[in-house]
Structure 1
Amino acid sequence: MLTNYIPHFNKLDSFDSGTKKGLLKYIPPQQHVENTIQHLPCTKIVSIKYNYLTPTTLIKTGVDKVLQTLIPDSWVSPQHKNAKQF
C-alpha cells in the first residue's frame, strides 16, 4: 500500500528495534530542491499492524494511541493499580 506513495519503499532497509513492534523502516525525506520549503512539521505517522490473514486497510487513529504504541512509558494506564506507580 505504501509503495503507491513512497518510491522504492520495498528497497528501503528494515531494522529490528528490539521490541514487539517488529521490523521498522526509516523513510528518508525527499531531496531538497531549490525554491522549496526546507523545514516541515511532522503531521503524519504510519503504523503498520501486519496480519497476512486480513486485507490491507488504512485507518486514521488518535495521537494517544500512536504514543501508546511508539512510546509505551509515555502514558498512564487507566488501571488503578498501574497508575498508582506514578
Structure 2
Amino acid sequence: MLQQELEFRGINLKHLGMYFEELGGKQITYQFPYIFKSDDDWYGEIVGEEELSITSTFKVNRVYIRFYASDDLTLQQLIKNYRVKTRRIGG
C-alpha cells in the first residue's frame, strides 16, 4: 500500500474528517489516529493535531494527515480531490 503524509494548517479538525466522508470514506475510529476507509482502494488517517505559534498572539492548528491507496493513480487522485476540499481562497 502506498502512502503520503501532508500537513494542513488553520482548518478545523472536524472539517478535515468531514472531507474524507464527502469523498466516500467512513469513519472507523473516534480518537487519534482518526481513520476513514472507503469502499474503494484507499483510506486516510488524521494522525495528530498541534498548535503552531506564528507570532506571540497569532496561533493556528497544524494537522497531519496520511493518505493510503493501493496504487499511485488512486493515491494522487485522492490527494487531489482532498486538496480541492481544503483550498482556501483569500480576497
TM-score normalised by length of structure 2: 0.32
Q: Which of the pair has more CA radius of gyration?
A: 1
Higher RCO by CA contacts (8 Å cutoff, separation 6 or greater) = 2
